[in-house]
Structure 1
Amino acid sequence: MTRLNDLEHVLRCELLNPSSSFSIGCFGAIAEFHRAADEPLTDFAPDRLTAATARGALRIDLKASIIALAYETLSGRPGRWQHGVVFCLPQSDAAKNAQSALTELGPDNHAI
């Protein structure tokens, strides 16, 4: 297995796990994807790393240059830890198509 295949496998498993949550953000904006244990997936496409419920959807598009870094932080609850993985790109890849002002992008032709 390659490193990218390993990441895809882990993400597939976590997309199916209702205990897992995903957050995507940058300075000034954040999006989150959570689901309850009894909340069914209305769409799951493991070949596309896509999951959807009646409340929202998430698609993950991994790039070959991605770097995954595991971390843990203290929880607000005593004696507990929070665990996570941050996915990073080299600056040159992350800056592609960046806008410096609010910009109309048009319709999302690849919406879930």
Structure 2
Amino acid sequence: MENKKASKLIDKILDDLDKTGINTDTLIEDIKELRTYALEEQIPLVVKVLRFTYEHIEKNNSFLIPIPDDEPIDDEDSTEEKEAVDPIESLKYLISLTKSLKNRMNISDLKEYRDALMEY
């Protein structure tokens, strides 16, 4: 995102995840605040992904979506993949994707997160 405050908030969220893990109290509020910057910048994909993300964390007290794979995997592998989710790493990756939206791969991965969150 272009906004300097949004960029600082992204750094804060990533730093907090490193220090305290998924602390739902502050994390959800920070993600909601980050979503307001995405609304201001009119980035519907990021707005939706961030909403799905904090709703998912509220519901599960964790982030249970794996990092998108570079290659498509068949259904048998995906169940193993879900069991091996590192919630903090996956959430850090999702949040870091919002920093550089000019990168096509970031947009692609955000769409995969959106779809995975909708399916969950």
> TM-score, length-normalised on structure 1?
0.29
Q: Which has the higher strand share?
A: 1
The structure with more helix, counted as a fraction of residues: 2
TM-score by length of 2: 0.28
